[in-house]
Amino acid sequence: MSLDAVKAGLKEKISEDCGLGAILKFDFGDQGHIVLDATQVPNVISSDDIEAQCTMALSLENFMLMAEGKLDGTMAFMSGKLKIQGDMGIAMKLAPLLA
């Protein structure tokens, strides 16, 4: 799956305002990154490399498994498949939005 497809799917899930009120970056390593800027309405999803209050580092494959409900975020974090830098509370608010 491409980053453009992930961005489109994320945009569909969160619609115009996810209520997060923060900037969250998904870091997919060599595959790139996606930034969700939920400090403005409508929320903006981009590939801009801007500073975020929370960065979630994981593989694109594991992100897709989490989005499909096949990989629990807590288990991914505990097993090292997901690394979180910054405000962990923001990451915890994201899970229900993707469900």
From first to last of its 99 residues, the chain has per-residue pLDDT tens of 788 988 998 888 888 888 899 999 999 999 999 999 999 999 999 998 899 999 999 999 999 998 888 999 899 999 999 999 999 999 888 877 766
Residue showing tokens 């505990």: 78
Do the Cβ atoms of 55 and 27 come closer than 8 Å? yes
Do the Cβ atoms of 45 and 34 come closer than 8 Å? yes
Put simply, whether the predicted model's pTM sits higher than 0.85 gets the answer: yes
